[in-house]
Chain A
Amino acid sequence: MKCEDVRAWLVRDLDGFAEPSAEAVAHLERCPACAAEAERLQRLADAAREALPAADVPSGFADRVMASVAGPLGDEALERASRTRPRWMLLALVVVLAPVAALAFFPRSGVDVRGTRLVEREGAWVAAASGDEFALETGWFVDAGPVRVTALAPSRLRGGAALSLLAGSVALESRAPAVVETRLGAIRLLGNTRCLAILAGEEDLEMVGLDGIRGSMRAALAVAVLAGGATVANAQGAEPAREREAVVARPDEAPRLMEEIAKRLHEIEDRLARLEQEGARWPTPVATPAPPPPPAVPGQRAVLRGRVVGADGEEVGLKRRDSGMEEMLERARRGDEHAREHLRAVAEEIRRAVNGEPPSAPKPRHAVTANEYRLAMQGLANASATGAAQVREAALQALRGVELSQEDRAKFDKALSDALAAIEARRRELSAVEMQRMMVGQRLDALEAEVAEANAQLDAASLLATTRPEMELRGELTRRAPDKLLDRIAQLEDHLAEAKRLGDEGAVEAARGALAGLYRVRSARLRVAELRAALEAAERAGEERKADEVRRMLKLEEEELARQEK
């Protein structure tokens, strides 16, 4: 292996492109010049490593990771967990909120997000929140009250997701039909998909999406989540067939899920009955337990549970705190009328869902609390960036069944009106921003093309002059060469190119033959020059043994050079 080959190998090795070569290593052991070059390149790699940004692991990092991945792993573990936790959680997991399936929830910390600030987070449309703090990337957010959203799955949804939280309600809308496409397990969202979740606001809730939902959702679909239970309701304008597509479980899972839900429903109703007996203060008798549900018919609306599987097959988590319902039961046990009524409403909704009946007509839920009302008002005041009609629907839906005083209703109406105006303004603003982004993107593409071209030129140049010492040697050769070897090479290369262009095969062959000889001479001169430099260095350093070795090699190379030149 020759010095120039070894040096090229060294550069390839630095770039991570070289195959292991025992021959090169052997050469480095006996060639001081190449060894020096290798040392120089190693110093370069060391310096690069030292110069990279420092990466101290923040304290508590492992704790945060562990908090985010809390719970056992794998299907078996999930199954085991589901068998050993026969509580409301199983029913409460029932959230059929397909667009929100894009969300994954695992606790994060260190993100300072306040309720009313629009926050850009990279790669996800919802980034982080804790307590009443919430953030979105491309949408907007307001105080969320009881909702606790902690993180997002890596985004597969490109652009145009907006989510609003209106005092315990969640609305999610995809706004850009041309680009919105999300694939999560079996879920595929199309443009104009809208989803609305209304939370009763009674307890913390980690909203999750499901796999196992088939079909597409178009038009408006509303999902109501009522303090531990979940029902799917057809919003105004949704076509029944599409609604059916949207809310039905996988056909092979639906019967089993329905059966399990019915079983849990009976357990809950039994429990309510026991509570009634213990407390003996129920204002009205608990409804008679529902009869066993009819066999599930694929295509009917269903209440589901499941786990979220991202587009890349990674499970993104499904957690639902079950303490809320336990607490509700405890409150009911202590005689809290509101909790009792709430439990009955939940049981009724679930019974209807299991039986495939339409949801009950909205009933007065309860008088709105001061906090809830404050959050609703603030939510509206902060609304932006999504369709006005959907926000209006969301707001009306959120307030349906809530008894508001006349004065509060007037205030709410005004807040809604203000919010819609803010939305329109925000939409115009976003349109302008999107246009600017598109132009910047085009400019970036052009610049990238220029950079790619420059890189190609650099590559071509590096073939001739990879390292600076080699360039210096070439310069020295040029100065010393009496026959202007390099000029002749350049001339012949021009001839070769011209012969190729003209298709003169004879001339091409002749030029190639001549060039091959000149290349050999050039290589021999390079080797001789390198060895002379190495000899001078060894003599300066007083390394006689090395100098003798280099002299022997130099003699051989000079003989070879003489042969080539002859």
Chain B
Amino acid sequence: MRIDDSSLVRAVLRGDPEPFRELVERHAAAVFRVVRSAASQAHDADDLAQEVFAAAYRALAKIKDPARFRPYVLSIAARKSADHLRRRRARPSLPLLEEPPAPPPPPRASLLDAVADAVDALPPETRLLVALRHHEGLSCLRIAEVLGLTPSAVYTRLSRAHAALRRALEVRGP
């Protein structure tokens, strides 16, 4: 029988860290989807995701509704990803720990080629918004709240991203 998130969170808060593993396994994919949209390198995404869960663990006592662990950890993921992007912009990375060039991506379905290219061309900040909107289903207002942006800023960026994607779809057709 699957134990719900709420019970796992409460068990952790009672002092047993082990149930946190189950929470990590349940929500790691969602967290990785968010951080991966912000981190250009796989190892950065790994580090970021680990930071996200470590922070979630340390601040677990602050969670208001244990049943809402997923939005809680995704909020942290979004904030960490945004911080990551800000820092990266502030400090261009030195070429001393570069990963080897990533292998070319596998061929994508023809229908998605144009959209995939359009997504790749988006700035990382905008890609993060698209991930939060379409992968995690967060509303514009919620995204703005999580990232500390104004709703209009989020709306503007998303609109622009969608316009680019619409153009890509129209070029490729249904």
Q: Which residues of A does B touch, CB under 8 Å?
A: 11, 14-17, 40, 43-45, 47-58, 61-62, 64-66, 68-74, 76-77, 80, 106, 108, 110-113, 117-123, 128, 137, 154-155, 312-317, 437, 440-441, 444, 455-456, 458-459, 462, 467-468
Contacts and interface: CB of A to CB of B under 8 A. Distances in A.
30 contacts: A15-B140, A15-B162, A16-B133, A44-B115, A47-B165, A51-B112, A51-B115, A53-B127, A55-B33, A62-B25, A62-B28, A68-B50, A69-B58, A73-B13, A80-B15, A110-B43, A120-B91, A120-B96, A120-B97, A122-B87, A123-B84, A128-B47, A312-B59, A313-B62, A315-B58, A444-B89, A455-B160, A458-B156, A458-B160, A467-B166
Contacts of B87: 122-123, 155
Contacts of A77: 15
- Give the dominant DSSP class at A's interface: loop
A151 to B, nearest CB: 8
Contacts of A40: 169, 174
Given A110-B43, A315-B58, A57 B32 contact: yes
B36 A14 contact: no
Given A15-B159, A17-B155, A444-B89, A118 B94 contact: yes
A458 B20 contact: no
Nearest to B156: A455
B123 to A, nearest CB: 9
A313 B91 CA distance: 26
A58 B43 CA distance: 10
Interface in B30-73: 32-33, 35-37, 42-47, 49-51, 53-55, 57-62
B138 A16 contact: yes
B6 interface: no
Nearest to B76: A314
B7 interface: no
A167 B74 CA distance: 41
A72 B93 contact: no
A52 to B, nearest CB: 5
Contacts, number: 203
Contacts of B33: 52, 55
B19 to A, nearest CB: 10
Nearest to B53: A65
B24 A62 contact: yes
B97 A112 contact: yes
A459 B152 CA distance: 10
A68 B89 CA distance: 28
Interface string B84-126: 1001111111101100000000001101100110111000000
A410 to B, nearest CB: 33
Nearest to B47: A108
Given A54-B36, A120-B97, A111 B131 contact: no
B71 to A, nearest CB: 15
A74 B61 contact: yes
A367 B170 CA distance: 77
A69 B163 contact: no
B134 A52 contact: yes
A69 B29 contact: no
Contact of A314 (B53, B58, B165, B168): B58
A34 B123 CA distance: 31
Nearest to B84: A122
Contact of B13 (A58, A71, A74, A154): A74
